[in-house]
């Protein structure tokens, strides 16, 4: 049975470490929620170790400077990782994909910076697809012709950020995870995902915490399929924020029970938002 939390300070003494997301936790699109950020600051001031696990396609340094420009005090975070950084590391160390990529997103990427890869202007010239999370969302219909061509060419897809939907500047929008799922269903040769719920992310983030205990670790996020699944797979407590991607505005208890059943996950706590 999930426990409702109005104020997270009620359970602060139960945990020594916190792994939390960024978007849908204290940022919505590119806007910081001041009260949620203050809650994390108070957690830090209480002596907790806070790590960030983001499915953003930004690399760690890019996310660092984005948060800093938004007046987020970066000293409160023990560690951080992004899907973009994981994809960069993978591309740096693999030689099986070729050297030409088609950028399925409409924005420039830093994932390939410093690496021996070239952007293809046409899908027919690409060795693989680079599909990145975009907080403006993605139009699934508009990319279908490209996916059909990619399928015919047997191109692998790198999905950077596994969210099928996410909170963007215009509300809840479709994420690249939805496109990757569609490509796989179509018969896509290979879909390589990066980001939560990969449990290795949690292991990496808590590495080095003195006397780390799973019993005293909490994962905070807004998405069942990424944040909550990672928490369950890692064997730690979970807190779902209901005003994020699932937008549970009414009958929250019933919706949470249905979501937990459909995803096969246990949710320990839930709250509308991060409030101290």
What mean pLDDT do residues 186-200 have?
95
Cis bond upstream, residue 148 (ω within 30): no
pLDDT above 90 (res 189): no
Residue 44 to residue 40: CA distance in whole angstroms:
6
172 — pLDDT class (breaks 50, 70, 90): confident
Give the per-residue pLDDT at 44. 97
155 pLDDT band, cuts 50/70/90, is: very high
Q: Out of 27-31, 267-271, 272-276, which region has the weakest mean confidence (pLDDT)?
A: 27-31
Domains of the chain: 3-55+197-271 (3.40.50.1000), 95-194 (3.40.50.1000)
Rounded distance, CA 237 to CA 230, Å? 10
pLDDT at 171 over 90: no
Task: Supply the pTM of this predicted model.
Answer: 0.94
Query: Sorting pLDDT into bands at 50, 70 and 90, what band is 134?
Result: confident
- Average confidence (pLDDT) over 90-105: 93
> Does 133 have pLDDT greater than 90?
no
| C-alpha–C-alpha distance, residues 249 and 57, integer Å | 29
Is pLDDT at 58 greater than 80 in this prediction? Answer: yes
pLDDT tens profile 222-246? 999 999 999 999 999 999 999 888 9
């Amino acid at each position: 049975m999930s426990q409702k939390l109005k104020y997270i300070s009620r359970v602060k003494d139960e945990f020594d470490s916190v792994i939390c997301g960024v978007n849908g936790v204290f940022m919505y699109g590119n806007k910081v929620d001041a009260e949620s950020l203050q809650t994390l600051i108070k957690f830090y001031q209480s002596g907790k170790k806070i790590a960030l696990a983001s499915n953003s396609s930004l690399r760690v340094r890019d996310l660092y400077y984005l948060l800093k420009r938004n007046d987020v005090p970066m000293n409160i975070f023990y560690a951080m990782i992004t899907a973009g950084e994981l994809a960069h590391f993978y591309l740096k160390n693999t030689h099986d994909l070729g050297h030409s990529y088609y950028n399925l997103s409409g924005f420039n990427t830093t994932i390939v910076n410093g690496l021996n890869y070239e952007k293809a202007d046409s899908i027919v010239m690409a060795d693989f697809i680079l599909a990145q999370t975009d907080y403006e969302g993605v139009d699934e219909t508009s990319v279908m012709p490209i996916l059909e061509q990619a399928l015919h060419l047997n191109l692998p897809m790198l999905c950077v950020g596994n969210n099928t939907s996410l909170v963007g500047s215009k509300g809840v929008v479709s994420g690249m995870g939805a496109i990757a799922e569609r490509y796989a269903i179509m018969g896509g040769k290979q879909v390589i995902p990066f980001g939560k719920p990969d449990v290795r992310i949690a292991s990496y983030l808590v590495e080095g915490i003195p006397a780390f205990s799973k019993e005293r670790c909490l994962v905070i996020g807004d998405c069942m399929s990424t944040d909550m699944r990672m928490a369950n797979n890692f064997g730690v407590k979970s807190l779902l924020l209901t005003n994020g991607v699932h937008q549970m505005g009414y009958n929250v208890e019933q919706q949470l029970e249905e979501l937990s059943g459909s995803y096969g996950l246990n949710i320990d706590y839930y709250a509308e938002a991060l409030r101290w």
